[in-house]
Structure 1
Amino acid sequence: MDSVNDFLTPASAPANANECVDWQQLPAMPPEAPLAMPTQSLAAFDPTHAHKPVRTGEDKATWAARVLAFGGGLALTAYGANEMYGVINVGSITALKWALLVLFTINFSWIALSFMSSISGFIWLFAHNRRKAGVAAELTTRNAVVMPIYNEAPERVFSALQAMIEDTVRTDRGHHFDWFFLSDTTDPEVWIAEQRAFEAIRARVRDTARVFYRHRPHNTARKAGNIADFVTRWGGHYEHMVVLDADSLMTGHAIVSLAKAMEADPDAGIIQTLPLIMNRNTFLARLQQFAARIYGPIIAAGLAVWSGRKGNYWGHNAIIRTKAFADCCGLPDLRGRPPFGGHILSHDFIEAALLVRAGYAVYMLPALSGSYEESPPSLIDIAARDRRWAQGNLQHSRLLLTKKMKLASRQHLASGIMGYLSSPVWMAQLLVGIALVLQASFIRPEYFTHEFAMFPDFPVFDYERALALFGVTMAVLMAPKFMGLLYALFRAPTRRVTGGAIGLLCSFVIEAIFSALIAPIMMVIQTGAVMQIVFGRDTGWVPQRRDDGSIPFLSIVRRHRSHVALGVITLIAGYLISPSLVAWMSPTIAGLILAIFISWASGQLWIGLALRKLGILVTPEETSPPRIAVRAGELQQELSAQPAPEADSLRAIHGDSHLRMLHESMLPSLERHRRGAIDPVRAVAVAKLNDAVTIDEAIEWLKPRERMIVLHDRSLIDMLVRLKTAETTAEEARA
């Protein structure tokens, strides 16, 4: 190899896995190979510039699934609406009754569509589960595997990527992949720890893989901006990129299979996997892990089969055609201020829609194994994540009318929006129902109207029909879970390693009960989030907790005391109005009253571990852990057990010349800094450094943002290094 640039050019891919480059000579990042990423218009699209697909049209199975999902969902919704009309069509139909009918129909249509889509997935899994995606006979391209990170624990993310590297190398296709940490970290201590971990991982993998690291000074547009920065500066080296999340874990087989599937399909823009949840041990995380493993394949297969080649993208554990992404996925900023304006938060849905609009295929391989992720450890953590997701999905309401967007893409956006609007609609339905019962119980009925009538006008319902409709609704709601259970019971390997039929049934019952209790809590939380967004409150971007630590009990009480109060008030009011109302609302009331206990239990590690010991809520990935998960855990333990280096970023740079040289080598060139622009934070940092005599004073005075300014600027690092230590100052004073 004549140069690093030659080495990184896809055409120069080594002929065999033994050909390599000296890892010690590689820079932190390869030479730049820019790709233009023009900002896309949402108001106009020229189809003459679209990709001309080799394969046109959809499979018959896709059309059949769409007829089943949407035709069946529409028919079921019509049935439910007609039954509800029969329930309220006793006596006169008041405005409140009409409101109840409309709200019920909206909610019922949502669960009816999910039910029919799950039937499609259930049929597909039994009929086509063994059908493999078309793959290239051999890889010929060079691919990037990128992991965006943001204030994550370095020992965890670097261990996970190293495990993926080792597993990919074992496939003898490792030389087709380069590995990137794309850091948006804003914590100076974490940033320096990442650089140490980067140097260490290169020393461990040595010549078996090419690992790179880039830190962005400003995390503009968050993850979407992070990926866009990589594409526009280095994307020209790579025909495809596998995009991970900070909690992703993928086997070498899965990564290589994605690359081969992309090579075999020149029309593919994104190929998505189905990530399963693993490595979680708190009670709630184990509930989610079990649900994702048992019910997830049914739901995902249904979505995949009716979406066909116009599918969705979940932002990670997927492979992307880099040039197509650059050409089609430059996201515009929306007019106005957040939460509905500014950067597009849930960028992945829009990127998929723009690729489909431009003629590329986006689809899922639900049967491809070896793709994993993690989940939040507690109910409060899920609520924090949901607040961010709610804003991103509601922001999509401004994008539904994007010019030339395909109908399937609009459906994906609408489903995401409805996923959060369903909570306030459900709450409104409950409130209208309570108002109707209150009206019937306390407002004197007008038995005879001014119009002639043979019988009095009683404000009543057809309660027998209402009970039957309630049963149908619950059956439709629970059916996807039962389908997942049935599918697992019929698959002997899954059944054996999840506790057998008895263990599976016990796990199913526990998950169903606690899901029912958690649902009203999440309904209130999501309703509050939607109201905040509607009234203009923007959310921050706090990194997701990925440990198994519990939350202090007082914090749980403060977070859920309003939910408990609402449950108690509803119980008392319901009892005073009608005991039958309490029975009707008992699941909702119980969930709210027990909110503090449920939230506390959700984050308890000992509950999850106790259930695991009993064989409850276990998954195949626990009883027979994938090799890659075992290796990632071993590496994380090894790194965590090593002696901790100096944690303070300024003191570490000041006292360790080797680390300082490494750090400065990763900083961008001076030409990237805007000269002549006065940054107030930088000015304050310079003033503090000028006043400081010792490194201890600088450490005490500089705030986190000022520390980041110092660590990004070589001239300020020079000022920092010249500061004396307390020992040196003391010696000078004695002299």
Structure 2
Amino acid sequence: MGGSYEESPPTLADELARDSRWAKGNLQHLWVMLREPGLRFAHRMAFLNGIMAYVASPLWLGFLILTTIAAANMTLAPIEYFPDGHQGLFPLWPEWRPEWALGLALSTLALLFFPKFLAILDAVIHRFTKEFGGLFRLFCSVMLEIMISVLLAPLRMWAHSRYVVSALLNVSLQWAGQNRTEETGWKEAFVFQLPGMLLGGGWSAFAWSLDTMFFLWSLPVALPLILAAPTAVYLSRNSLGQALKKRRLLLIPEECKTMPLLEDVVWYRSRELSSPTLTPLEQAVLRLDHNRLHQALAWDHRHGSRTAELEACVALCLEQGPEALSRLQMSQIVRDRQSLRVLHEGAWRAPPDSFWGRAIGRLSAHVSGA
């Protein structure tokens, strides 16, 4: 069960690191959506929804850039009342369509926030508000979530825009273990968020120099960028989450009743045959039930030149133990079905004073002690 339970990353930096991989994966679905024959329209729309989850960010950023350019032109460039080619005695007045701006603002607000209030209505109709702390606390939680979303949206927009560009340029990504417990420190937050903070501060100062109303219009985006570091630090604090949980805010049903999966994990780890003295890798090699499970999940990778390479890695692992191999080599042999079988058989034939012999001794001592 180790590592099988997927939780949300506890910090903004970790969430954005995960999004960098997800952005590239979702953009790769574009070719499937457009070119794969036989897909239903609903399935293509599901792919498009995943793609737009990241492409929407550079579109938003482009909208802000074009709006800033337009505001700068209106403020800095002289208005041409009689441009070239304009004939007549009357000037060509600049056009301003406030109904378009109002319609864009209202439709955006409806798209972002109306589904949240529909969710509250759904909870009331189906009578499960109690699982979220009650109707009043559910409403307060939704309002709090909206405030946090307003703070995080520009940060995600800036990060996702970079990820989309990197994906289009085919920049390679590293896949490493994800942080599940650590909080964000102030130094880390400032280093990670500094480019966005400088961007928000510079844009806000430029907007102020252009026009007061444009400056106020820019604040919902610029201010969260300027406050990115404090936002990242405080939203990673376990104490803040525990305080909200104590007040039954942002509560979800799984916090009131334990999930069956987690109950299974507790039972599994408390079984008599579990071996806390062995690492998961050692258990996967030595214990027959673990080894068979991993073999069932593995594939046959022995073909061509890889056969000799895998055989050499298995022999070295049996002779000197896993520490003699790199992480890449160890990953290759534990994904190969035949290598897992050979490791299991070879480890149980190992001399008592070898790495695997000592591991068998620890396993035997635990079983006999139990």
TM interval, shorter chain, is 0.7 to 0.9
In structure 2, which of residues 286, 290, 304 is the aligned counterpart of residue 659 of structure 1? 286
Give the aligned partner of residue 534 of structure 1. 168
* Matched-pair contact (CA < 8 Å) for 1:548–1:603: no
TM-superposition CA deviations, 1:259-283 (whole Å, max 9, x none): xxxxxxxxxxxxxxxxxxxxxxxxx
| Alpha-carbon distance between aligned partners in 1 of 2:130 and 2:295, rounded to the nearest angstrom | 53
Give the aligned partner of residue 24 of structure 2. 391
Give the aligned partner of residue 121 of structure 2. 486
Give the aligned partner of residue 57 of structure 2. 423
| Alpha-carbon distance between aligned partners in 2 of 1:601 and 1:467, rounded to the nearest angstrom | 34
Mark the CA change 1:643 to 1:609 in structure 2 (over 3 Å): closer, same or farther.
farther
Give the aligned partner of residue 705 of structure 1. 328
| Alpha-carbon distance between aligned partners in 2 of 1:386 and 1:438, rounded to the nearest angstrom | 33
Query: Cα distance, 1:484 vs. partner?
Result: 1.4
| Alpha-carbon distance between aligned partners in 2 of 1:495 and 1:663, rounded to the nearest angstrom | 42
Give the aligned partner of residue 583 of structure 1. 216
In structure 2, which of residues 79, 90, 106 is the aligned counterpart of residue 445 of structure 1? 79
TM-superposition CA deviations, 1:681-728 (whole Å, max 9, x none): 765775x679x8xx5xx66543223445677363794699359559x9
What aligned pairs does 1:13-24 form with structure 2 within 5 A after superposition?
Answer: none
In structure 2, which of residues 65, 70, 78 is the aligned counterpart of residue 436 of structure 1? 70
Extract unaligned runs of 5+ from structure 2. 358-370
In structure 2, which of residues 247, 254, 262 is the aligned counterpart of residue 614 of structure 1? 247
Q: Say if 2:350 is the partner of 1:721.
A: yes
Query: Cα distance, 1:416 vs. partner?
Result: 2.4
Mark the CA change 1:673 to 1:606 in structure 2 (over 3 Å): closer, same or farther.
same
Mark the CA change 1:538 to 1:700 in structure 2 (over 3 Å): closer, same or farther.
closer
TM-superposition CA deviations, 1:219-262 (whole Å, max 9, x none): xxxxxxxxxxxxxxxxxxxxxxxxxxx54xxxxxxxxxxxxxxx
Mark the CA change 1:631 to 1:681 in structure 2 (over 3 Å): closer, same or farther.
closer
Mark the CA change 1:676 to 1:408 in structure 2 (over 3 Å): closer, same or farther.
closer
Which deviates more from structure 2 when the two are superposed, residues 455-464 or residues 416-425?
455-464
Give the aligned partner of residue 235 of structure 2. 602
**Secondary structure at the counterpart of residue 481 of structure 1:** helix
Paired residue type of 1:659: L
Query: Cα distance, 1:441 vs. partner?
Result: 0.7
TM-superposition CA deviations, 1:635-672 (whole Å, max 9, x none): 37847xx87313385xx58xx9x926667766599x98
TM-superposition CA deviations, 1:125-167 (whole Å, max 9, x none): xxxxxxxxxxxxxxxxxxxxxxxxxxxxx3464xxxxxxxxxx
| Alpha-carbon distance between aligned partners in 2 of 1:663 and 1:503, rounded to the nearest angstrom | 45
TM-superposition CA deviations, 1:192-243 (whole Å, max 9, x none): xxxxxxxxxxxxxxxxxxxxxxxxxxxxxxxxxxxxxxxxxxxxxxxxxxxx
Give the aligned partner of residue 157 of structure 2. 523
**Secondary structure at the counterpart of residue 616 of structure 1:** coil
Query: Cα distance, 1:600 vs. partner?
Result: 2.1
Give the aligned partner of residue 380 of structure 1. 13
| Alpha-carbon distance between aligned partners in 1 of 2:347 and 2:103, rounded to the nearest angstrom | 77
Give the aligned partner of residue 197 of structure 2. 564
Mark the CA change 1:447 to 1:636 in structure 2 (over 3 Å): closer, same or farther.
farther
| Alpha-carbon distance between aligned partners in 2 of 1:615 and 1:543, rounded to the nearest angstrom | 31
Which deviates more from structure 2 when the two are superposed, residues 580-589 or residues 451-460?
451-460
Mark the CA change 1:621 to 1:156 in structure 2 (over 3 Å): closer, same or farther.
same
| Alpha-carbon distance between aligned partners in 2 of 1:577 and 1:627, rounded to the nearest angstrom | 55
**Secondary structure at the counterpart of residue 721 of structure 1:** coil
Paired residue type of 2:148: F
Query: Cα distance, 1:519 vs. partner?
Result: 0.8
* Matched-pair contact (CA < 8 Å) for 2:61–2:158: yes
* Matched-pair contact (CA < 8 Å) for 2:286–2:347: no
* Matched-pair contact (CA < 8 Å) for 1:155–1:636: no
* Matched-pair contact (CA < 8 Å) for 2:158–2:196: yes
Give the aligned partner of residue 644 of structure 1. 276
| Alpha-carbon distance between aligned partners in 1 of 2:178 and 2:200, rounded to the nearest angstrom | 29
| Alpha-carbon distance between aligned partners in 1 of 2:351 and 2:131, rounded to the nearest angstrom | 61
Structure having the larger proportion of residues in strand: 1
| Alpha-carbon distance between aligned partners in 2 of 1:660 and 1:593, rounded to the nearest angstrom | 54
Q: Kindly, what percent of the aligned residue pairs are identical?
A: 24
| Alpha-carbon distance between aligned partners in 2 of 1:581 and 1:456, rounded to the nearest angstrom | 26
TM-superposition CA deviations, 1:162-181 (whole Å, max 9, x none): xxxxxxxxxxxxxxxxxxxx
**Secondary structure at the counterpart of residue 35 of structure 2:** coil
Paired residue type of 1:561: L
Query: Cα distance, 1:430 vs. partner?
Result: 0.6
TM-superposition CA deviations, 1:377-401 (whole Å, max 9, x none): 3322322332222222211221213
Query: Cα distance, 1:542 vs. partner?
Result: 3.9
Paired residue type of 1:423: S
**Secondary structure at the counterpart of residue 160 of structure 2:** helix
Paired residue type of 1:622: E
Query: Cα distance, 1:566 vs. partner?
Result: 1.1
* Matched-pair contact (CA < 8 Å) for 2:132–2:253: yes
| Alpha-carbon distance between aligned partners in 2 of 1:407 and 1:629, rounded to the nearest angstrom | 34
What aligned pairs does 1:124-203 form with structure 2 within 5 A after superposition?
Answer: 154-155=1-2, 157=4
Q: Say if 2:144 is the partner of 1:510.
A: yes
Give the aligned partner of residue 110 of structure 2. 475
| Alpha-carbon distance between aligned partners in 1 of 2:139 and 2:58, rounded to the nearest angstrom | 32
* Matched-pair contact (CA < 8 Å) for 1:393–1:417: yes
Give the aligned partner of residue 101 of structure 2. 466
TM-superposition CA deviations, 1:92-137 (whole Å, max 9, x none): xxxxxxxxxxxxxxxxxxxxxxxxxxxxxxxxxxxxxxxxxxxxxx
* Matched-pair contact (CA < 8 Å) for 1:567–1:592: yes
Query: Cα distance, 1:419 vs. partner?
Result: 2.3
| Alpha-carbon distance between aligned partners in 2 of 1:415 and 1:710, rounded to the nearest angstrom | 37
Mark the CA change 1:632 to 1:596 in structure 2 (over 3 Å): closer, same or farther.
farther
* Matched-pair contact (CA < 8 Å) for 2:201–2:226: yes
Paired residue type of 1:721: A
| Alpha-carbon distance between aligned partners in 2 of 1:645 and 1:578, rounded to the nearest angstrom | 68
In structure 1, which of residues 481, 498, 506 is the aligned counterpart of residue 132 of structure 2? 498
* Matched-pair contact (CA < 8 Å) for 1:685–1:709: no
Structure having the larger proportion of residues in helix: 2
TM-superposition CA deviations, 1:528-575 (whole Å, max 9, x none): 111011112243444555x34324543333322211111111111111
In structure 2, which of residues 207, 214, 235 is the aligned counterpart of residue 574 of structure 1? 207
Mark the CA change 1:486 to 1:453 in structure 2 (over 3 Å): closer, same or farther.
farther
Which deviates more from structure 2 when the two are superposed, residues 677-686 or residues 408-417?
677-686
Extract unaligned runs of 5+ from structure 1. 1-153, 158-245, 248-373, 729-735
| Alpha-carbon distance between aligned partners in 2 of 1:661 and 1:465, rounded to the nearest angstrom | 69
What aligned pairs does 1:314-353 form with structure 2 within 5 A after superposition?
Answer: none
**Secondary structure at the counterpart of residue 277 of structure 2:** coil
Alpha-carbon RMSD: 3.8
**Secondary structure at the counterpart of residue 128 of structure 2:** helix
Query: Cα distance, 1:478 vs. partner?
Result: 1.6
* Matched-pair contact (CA < 8 Å) for 1:394–1:417: yes
| Alpha-carbon distance between aligned partners in 1 of 2:254 and 2:184, rounded to the nearest angstrom | 27
* Matched-pair contact (CA < 8 Å) for 2:57–2:160: yes
| Alpha-carbon distance between aligned partners in 1 of 2:123 and 2:93, rounded to the nearest angstrom | 50
* Matched-pair contact (CA < 8 Å) for 1:689–1:720: no
**Secondary structure at the counterpart of residue 80 of structure 2:** coil
Mark the CA change 1:620 to 1:457 in structure 2 (over 3 Å): closer, same or farther.
same
Query: Cα distance, 1:513 vs. partner?
Result: 0.8
Paired residue type of 2:119: G
